[in-house]
Homo-oligomer: A and B are copies of this chain.
């Protein structure tokens, strides 16, 4: 059984409410990802390194992958890809857009971009979401 404290309770509930057993590893990862002021982007490798660095009992690579996938399926993370064959995850799940600047990602709030014209979805389909990527380059 978990050491239960107030900080953990909210994440335990969050996991339970999505049908995920609140194991120690999942609670720790949730705390690391969601117990902060600002949303952020990460790769699984980055997450693993920054969490395991300060832990005596390491969490395994497979568990990081499993948990990130589970959190994504539960709707707590958004996935996106750059042109380097790595998956990035975003703790900001609200609809928003991105600047891409040589591998660096910067959020653009949803209301900063609006459309004058958008195409219809093909027959039998509907639009799930619209995502804009603005690629940047240096001036001059």
Interface 9-mer from A1-9, A12-20, A121-129: A121-129
Q: Is the interface of A mostly helix, strand, loop or mixed?
A: strand
List chain B residues, Cβ under 8 A from A85. Answer: 81, 85-87
In the assembly, what is the distance between CA of A113 and CA of B125, in Å?
A: 18
CB-CB nearest in chain B for A108: B119
Q: Is A133 an interface residue (CB 8 A)?
A: yes
Q: Is A65 an interface residue (CB 8 A)?
A: no
Q: Is A132 an interface residue (CB 8 A)?
A: yes
In the assembly, what is the distance between CA of A86 and CA of B113, in Å?
A: 28
A85-B87, A125-B138, A133-B133 known; A113 vs B112 contact (CB < 8 Å): no
Q: Is A57 an interface residue (CB 8 A)?
A: no
Specify which of B81, B86, B136 is in contact with A122 (CB 8 Å cutoff): B136
In the assembly, what is the distance between CA of A118 and CA of B79, in Å?
A: 23
A85-B85, A87-B85, A130-B133 known; A139 vs B124 contact (CB < 8 Å): yes
Q: How far is the CB of A110 from chain B (nearest CB, A)?
A: 11
Q: How far is the CB of A90 from chain B (nearest CB, A)?
A: 12
List chain B residues, Cβ under 8 A from A133. Answer: 130-133
> What is A's interface to B at a CB cutoff of 8 Å?
79-87, 99, 101, 106, 108, 112-119, 121-122, 124-139
